[in-house]
Amino acid sequence: MNLMHKKTLYEIIVILLLAVTIGVAWNHKLLLNAWTGQAPAPPPPAVSGAPAAAIPLPVGLMQVKDMFDRKEAVIVDARDEATFAKGHIQGALSLPVGEAAEKVPAFAEKHPPDTLLILYCNGYGCHDSMELGIKLIENGFTSVYAFEGGYPEWKDAGYPVEGTEP
Amino acid sequence: MKKFPYELIVIIIRIALGAIFTYAGIIKIMDPVAFAGSIAAYKILPYFGNYLAAAILPWLEVICGLLLMAGGSRDHPRT
């Protein structure tokens, strides 16, 4: 390898290392959360007394499974009813984002505002759970989380599902 | 006839490209979770990899953009 190539390689490495260092340092909290989201025994997100966020906070698969096992959370499916009927996370409630205007008030009557809610839809490309979460927060719910991996990630992990063709 | 200003054109393109890189990087740095979601949609990385890529790539973009704007490479030195 001649000297020019060596110098270019050296420059590439310096730039990459710089990006990795700044990127990891800048996002260390997010990365830590993402990492613990997958850790075997993650602490569940702080529930009581957490300040009400304007948008649902993201929550990872393992945290959802943890809260599912402990029955701490109400899991809400933001997809339409037909999709819900085909397959959904075991015990999830259907609250389609398209019908949120009609159904959220009734939902709010049945569940106190500090209920821990986990919303999901069809995974990362799907924003229904975020949209529904914003509406629920507007209706006074204080602990609203969005499981961004959604039904696909849950099903792929082999966790309990139910429905006509789960 | 006046010489075609290649050097000037190279500088303009270089700065424009660098600015686009920097801008694209900054908007991703502002919202790394959304970017992680976009990466995850491709389903090529494991769960944590999406976040790691979302944390690092925008900074790589900004650094490269700034360096491109600053110029100073051997082939196209600062003029």
Burial of A73 by CB count in 10 Å (0-12 exposed, 13-18 middle, 19+ buried)? buried
Would you say residue B45 has pLDDT above 90? no
Per DSSP bridges, beta strands A74-77 and A143-147 are unpaired
Between chains, do B55 and A125 touch, taking CB under 8 Å as contact?
A: no
Among A116, A117, A121, A136, which one carries the catalytic annotation? A121
The encoded tokens of residue A47 equal: 């529930």
Higher pLDDT, residue A101 or A48: A101
Between chains, do B56 and A37 touch, taking CB under 8 Å as contact?
A: no
Residues paired with residue A145 on neighbouring β-strands, in sequence order: A57, A118
> Is residue A121 annotated as part of the catalytic site, yes or no?
yes
CB A67 within 8 A of CB A119: no
- Give the C-alpha distances (Å, rounded to integers) separating A78 from A99, A128, A129, B60: 10, 6, 5, 36
Q: How many CB pairs under 8 A join A and B?
A: 66
Between chains, do A23 and B60 touch, taking CB under 8 Å as contact?
A: yes
Question: pLDDT per residue over A37-81, tens digit each?
Answer: 653 333 333 444 444 457 888 888 888 988 898 888 999 999 988
